[in-house]
Structure 1
Amino acid sequence: MRVSMMNMYSNNLQSMQHLTSDVAKVNQQMATGKSILRPSDDPIGAAKVVTTQRDLASTSQYLKNTESLSTSLDRSETYLSSMTNLQSRMREITIGANNGSLSPEDRAAYAAELEELLESFVDVTNAKDDGGNYLFSGNKTDTPPIGVDANGDYFYQGDDSQREVQISGSSWMAGNVTAADFMFSTGGTDILNQTKQFIDVLNDPSLAPGDPAFGDAADDMMQALDDSLAGVSGAITDIGGKQNAIALMQTSHNERILFNEEVIGETEGLDYAQATAEFNLKLTTLQVTQQSFVQVSQLSLFNHI
């Protein structure tokens, strides 16, 4: 009798412990919304979730990279567009100043406006992003791209490096444009120094339209404007192509993120209706077992005398 009572007591205690554990597990599943709480619950499903989460994390990072890259390219395009506007007015002045009816004072007035435009051009080329980094200096982001030497001439002091940004598992894209590419890549004089030289010509009262020196300076200025506009327009076109590629990549990333989230949800997501039914069943069974355990634990030989 003693052995039978001990076995019955032990079996009831083990059953109650198992049920308590099961109820706690289902309760935790309902609290987290996950059917897989540990790898042992579903080894294959758990491995699938880990792999999918890893892909989700990397894809999300690529998406952030494209968003940051797109913002940076937008900013660069804005400043490049400003350069084209400045060059448009510089071209008007160059054409207007090449007029024999103008007085030296008129040409000096044009020169004064060109000086302001030149200063604005340098400021735009030396633009920074929100982090204080120079946009058009290559990897030398702490150095303004345009410097002035001892002779007062402009020169490029950045480098020609491209800052590559990873936008997918196998794709990288250059995230910057350098002033060396769109301003100092031509064989002739760059627009900054050519403008400086033309300003000197306009301020010289001994030189006027019709003089060979004036005509040569005006022709050189127009050529520099053509070369500069071609360089800046090419950079804007290149940015436009990159933005289109980024938009397509972002669409792909968003679709992949949505797919991964669905896979994770389907794999580890909890069926609340089924879980609730299971919770209620196990809880009821536990309550019955607890009541049985109380009755069994009170049994002794004296109860049968």
Structure 2
Amino acid sequence: MRVTMQNLYTNNVHSMQNTTAAVARLNQMLSTGMSILRPSDDPIGTVRVMASQRDLASVEQYVKNIDSLSTSMDRAETYLSGMVDLQQRMRELSVATNNSSLSEEDRAAYALEMEELLKSMVDMVNAKDDVGNSLFSGNSVDKVTVGTDAAGRYVYQGDSKQREVQTSASSWMTANVTAEAFLFSNASQDLLNQTLDYVAVLKDPSLAPGDPAFQAASVDMQAALNDTLDSINSAITEMGGKQNSLSLAKGSHEEMVLFNKQVIGETQELDYAKATAEFNVKLTSLKVTQQTFVQISQLTLFNNL
């Protein structure tokens, strides 16, 4: 078969173009640290990487949800524990004031302390998170949880809805507890209004321990304290269980994050030693091809005469 000068010229041009493209591709791989620059480089690997990246994004979002939920529960639990402490002092005062040896002035002094405890209790019930959302008002996070009506009685201003947060592909967890549930859904009168009533009895000079009206108020106060403490302790216990579940779920998700990152890395990260060696070989080949091309391009028929 006869090889013409045009054939030699064209073959050398093609060879340089192919080698230049290979050198450029290897250089880009070395620059990015990735062995897959386009899907056609490794279709199966590309599909594997895309699937792992989707799974990674989902799992990382679950971890963020868990962290946010755990922080919210920690904050709510702190306030609920504070309410328990306040109620323990309220119980001490309600027992101490049911004493016939107390003077009118003594009962009035206890009434003042009870009022301060009530104010602190209301402040805790109306607690907000770091962005200003009410913690215990259900989904009505923009409303103050507890307010007062025209008669000065405490009323719940939120709703009874529960916020659900997704913690895995198939799991959701309730994110909040409402003041309606732990204050206004007990068999006894809610503790806030019951405390108002008991303070009024303590301040009434015509009433003293032993009087039927005083005794009734004292019994009602104890019942409200018992019911509310049971409700709040139940909420705290439930939160503790949820926190344990969240911790386990987060640990599992973090393992999946590491696994997916490993799969992505093993599939698309570059073997620098192998790529560098191949780059040097291709670069040397390109230089040789260029030198050959220069020599061939200068040849004419007169060189053979």
For the aligned pair, the TM-score class normalised by the smaller chain equals over 0.9
Q: Secondary structure at the match of 2:124?
A: helix
Match runs of 1:86-101 below 5 Å = 86-101=86-101
Match of 2:215 in 1: 215
Contact 2:191 2:224 in 1 (8 A): yes
Corresponding residue of 1:18? 18
- For the pair 1:224 / 2:217, whether they are aligned, the reply is no
Tell me which residue corresponds to 1:161: 161
1:303 is displaced (CA, Å) by 2.2
2:78 is aligned to 78
Cα deviation, 1:175-233, whole Å, max 9, x if unaligned, reads 11100111111122000000000000000011111111111111110110000000110
Is the partner of 1:225 in helix, strand or coil?
helix
CA distance in 2, matches of 1:196, 1:122: 12
Partner of residue 235, structure 1: 235
Q: Which amino acid aligns with 2:64?
A: K
Cα distance in 1 for residues equivalent to 2:166 and 2:108: 51
Q: Does structure 1 residue 122 correspond to structure 2 residue 122? A: yes
> Aligned partner of 2:246: which letter?
I
Q: Secondary structure at the residue paired with 2:4?
A: helix
Report deviation, 1:3: 6.6
Divergent runs of 4+, >3 A: none
Distance 1:6 1:232 in 2: 92
Q: Which amino acid aligns with 2:277?
A: A
What's the secondary structure of 2:265's corresponding residue? helix
Structure 2 residues without counterparts, runs of 5 or longer:
none
Unaligned 5+ runs, structure 1:
none
SS at match of 2:216: helix
Residue 8 in structure 1 maps to residue 8 in structure 2: yes
RMSD in angstroms over aligned alpha carbons? Answer: 1.2
Whether 1:287 and 2:287 are equivalent positions in the alignment is yes
Counterpart Cα distance in 2 of 1:57 and 1:141: 29
Partners of 2:187 and 2:227 within 8 A in 1: no
Q: CA deviation at 1:274?
A: 0.7
Report the alpha carbon displacement of residue 31 of structure 1 after superposing the two structures with TM: 1.2
The number of equivalent residue pairs is 305
Q: TM-score, normalised by structure 2?
A: 0.98
CA distance in 2, matches of 1:181, 1:37: 57
Report the counterpart of residue 139 of structure 1 in structure 2.
Answer: 139
- Equivalent AA in structure 1 for residue 18 of structure 2: H
Aligned residue number for residue 48 of structure 2: 48
Superposition deviation, residue 302 in structure 1: 2.5
Q: 5 Å matches for 1:144-293?
A: 144-293=144-293
Partner SS, residue 142 of structure 2: coil
- 1:231-250 CA deviation, whole Å, 9 max, x = no partner? 11011011101100000000
Residue 29 (structure 1) aligns with? 29
Percent identity between the two aligned chains: 62
Report the equivalent of 2:68: 68
For residues 218 and 297 of structure 2, what CA distance do their matches in structure 1 show?
Answer: 111
For 2:32, the aligned partner's letter is T
